Structure 1
Amino acid sequence: MTLVDLTQLVTEQAGTKYQNLHSMSVAELAHAMNENDQAVADAVNREMKTIVSAIEQIVPRMKMGGRLVYVGAGTSGRLGVLDASECPPTFNAKPDQVIGIIAGGDTALRTSIEGAEDDAELAIAELTKLDLSAADTVVGIAASGRTPYAIAAMDYARSRGALAIGLACNKGTELGRRADIGIEIDCGPELLAGSTRMKSGTATKMVLNMISTIAMVRLGKVYKNFMVDVQNSNIKLQTRSVNMICTILDVDASTALTALNDAKGSVRKALVMLANDVSLERAEEMLATTSNDLTYLLNGHQNG
């Protein structure tokens, strides 16, 4: 086994403030964790300019039909798959619009296959299946910023003309250098030295939330602050959909539910049908001719 020098990685360092976890009470440990986590939002905020720049380059690619692909190993890979898997139900995104790839495949979501992170060829093999183009974006995720799997994804993405974004929780990383854009969040040492599922995981999830949510907003998947393209796959989401229609158009629940059923579960179409007193077919035509512009189609019929 060949060892590597990790001493310069802040995620590997042992902080001096919480050196005696083994002797703390449950309450002391809980307060220590919560206190240590306070640094995450500030650390993300310090990198906001780069995050914004990355998203501003992702959006036009997605508008051209490009895909957003997350690639990572271990916790980083799981977070990428998690964010990708939430996009279809939340925004009715196509299953292949936001893709999560984890080293070791789906088995690694439940069972740790940490050794897979060293297999650079494995990352290339997975990305090769996607036939990447210049319209696509690949986000390589690695808290350390040195994971061969994620770095290989950056090299391959750039070789295909895709936008390569590296997301790490250390500064001056190899991942950042090999990407077109390097987002490097410094949250300081973890409470439990080296356990990047903690602050680094939280920071990573915050950034991925920004990337996918803001991209979907800019793609027109959101009206005001409502997820008007939500998939009504359960009672909770059906109820949320009715409440959205009630709030936006100031109608009663019975009216909203009837419209939602007539629109075959589409909040967007139900809104247009009610606001303009038209059939489903006409609402679909109106949406098609206005590029799904609800602001225009609901003009004069909005509540507030």
Structure 2
Amino acid sequence: MSIGNSPEDDRPSVEDDGPSIGRVLQQARVGAGLTVDEVSTSTRVRIPIVHAIEEDDFSCSGGDVYARGHIRMLARAVGLDPDPLIERYDAEHGGRPAPTPAAPLFEAERIRPERRRPNWTAAMVAAIVAVVGFAGFTLFSDGESEGGGNTVAEGAAPETKKPTTPTTKPADPKPDPSDSAIAALPKDKVTVKLSATGDKSWISAKSHNGKLLFDGLLLKGETKTFQDDERVDLILGNAGAIELFVNGKKVKDEFEMGGVERLSYTKGDPEVG
């Protein structure tokens, strides 16, 4: 009688023999009676990307961050819990990347701007020019006062009798720059401005009638502006990297890096959208 391990211990686990991520999503979609077009419409994930993911090809997603977001949205659309699929994706693709330490970034920002040294030569030249100019003006004024003192005295006397009421109207205060920018926007449209400040982000923007305004990557430092008569619908991949302005006002929502956000905005303040 053998005391060693049972042959059953050498069999692969159920997870190793189970269907792949794409196969699981495809089977769940078919079981739910949904087509690829219907899933693409409900998730805003493009049809080629849905087909590629169901074939376990994640190269069209544009990176691990976007691949996780696509898996999460597709799983929810077909009624699956996305967390096991995300964990399996991380296990098959080297795990979730470790966050970049914040301290070196801040140190780099402090070191980057180098304060300029004062230009003493230019300051000395400016001081000399000012002294020479003042001296010349003083000599010129003294010469005029000696040669035509009587004329100046006679002309100055009548002027003292004139009323001193101001004749110029004080200038109106200038409006705040931000208020001027908001006032310049059309009141009958909704205006949405997106800026990728922290990192690149995948953006999808549609008008109120479903017309695609933009669908692609917004690289770091780039800005896109969209307008519509009624509403602008957005999907933000890696939403934490986006700075968002709606109708000239900054949206103060704090989005997470790597997160996916669906947003809609209409005319008026950001709270209206």
**TM-score above 0.5:** no
TM-score, normalized by length of structure 1? 0.21
Larger relative CO (CA 8 A, sep 6+): 1 or 2?
Answer: 1
Q: Which structure is larger by alpha-carbon Rg, 1 or 2?
A: 2
Report which of the two has the higher share of strand.
2
